[in-house]
Copies of this chain bind each other. A is one copy, B any other.
């Protein structure tokens, strides 16, 4: 067939319609107009309205931003909790082509100021809880032209913030006939900074395309037909909207017609459970420490999860005992997924029993999800060579796909082909993933790895243990040795020998911590995770550090 002229390329004759974030709310307006969004206000009261109401308000916001001179790709910061106004920013801001930059108010104020400035934010949306933070950091944020207060004039009385605008007044001044613009789906829709446990925080910009594809992949049924309609579900992110877009629930809920329930700023277990039960939440998402807190609260107070049927767990690997309790005592489907700011929802839930449940490998409910569509996951050894997907080999977990970050904001150079997640993991033949540890948390002892997660899981299996964290402490002979920090349940009694006796059958003898130290509480970061760096420093500075006999010596 030589000599045949190369043809012109042939494009599909399907329509050229971009994947835009505004489409998700438009879909809800057209198909689920009366479905509710229920959110706790900062003052603790409950606000409820429909997707049709939300849609109208988002268009008013978009019109107001346009009137304020905001143009395509300009950055709008938010320093706010899970309220209905914050939900609206995900559409009012991104829908008109600007970029919503969600900032975590739990961070140190230095970090907040750094992140707002680094993100290039022109406006900052704040609520009654974050107003004091904004007042304190405003002098360091000269590029912020307006603060927009999502609350009443009374709540902001006496503030000295310059250029303060009021959200409700901005919306009231607009009509709700704003038409979403159409633009390149590769443009940024939101920005989220990693918590920056090492170095300065780094920003990831999600595109309209990546947000859409990620939300769609998080909504895949693995099947055609025979599923529950989205309209019978009420979903609640017990995770802040500034954490990876609230696990994409501001997107997946309207896309699928779910009722959306938002906890405001009230993450206390009694307040969460009040909403879960009172609003008949069927699917809730939280990190393991939040689930542990809820379980602990139920232990003390009795009661249950109401209509809840599925517990979505992500953020870090949960202790097996927590998964078992949710499943067996409360009858919940535990759906683990795995992701990070740089790679949201790259695994999908581990709900269904798989082929490997009974072959001696980790049961699938204890794994961190199955590889989601459009994602490639692989594990590599130190030389970068791919490891077999055999459920045994452990290596650095790498990810690739259209909703995986290839770069950070302002990062020079070509984007990466694969994201190094910083996790150690094994991949099973069915694409399910088991996270072994964070690479930075794994304890390197005598040339071998000890999983801090597995040590913690062994300890938290004891009924008197509320929380446990294992870190590696420098050791002259073994490089590092494990030390375990434990918080007892209130009122519970537990001695070090008793805990050692409990853990012994669960661990190889050389994994046994050199020391077990009891604390009243552990240092946690702005994202609710135990700060292992601080803990390691604390335990290294302890005069007894390294003085005890090492289990590995024996």
Contact = CB atoms under 8 A, between A and B. Distances in A.
B224 A349 contact: yes
A411 B11 CA distance: 13
A272 interface: no
Q: Which 7 A-B pairs have the closest CB atoms?
A: A12-B207, A221-B221, A31-B431, A222-B230, A229-B352, A1-B69, A225-B335
A317 interface: no
Interface string A1-35: 11010111111111111110001001100111110
**Contact-residue size bin, chain A (C-beta under 8 Å from the other chain):** 35 or more
Contacts of A218: 224
Nearest to A4: B69
| Number of copies of this kind of chain in the complex | 2
Contacts of A354: 229, 231
B221 A223 contact: yes
A312 interface: yes
A123 to B, nearest CB: 10
A400 interface: yes
A355 B231 CA distance: 9
Given A223-B221, A258-B223, A429 B33 contact: yes
Interface centre among A1, A222, A335, A404 (most CB of B within 10 A): A222
Interface string A67-105: 011111111000000000000000000000001000000
Contacts of A232: 352
A442 interface: no
A218 B222 CA distance: 10
A297 interface: no
A33 B427 CA distance: 14
Contacts of A208: 12
Nearest to A32: B430
A387 interface: no
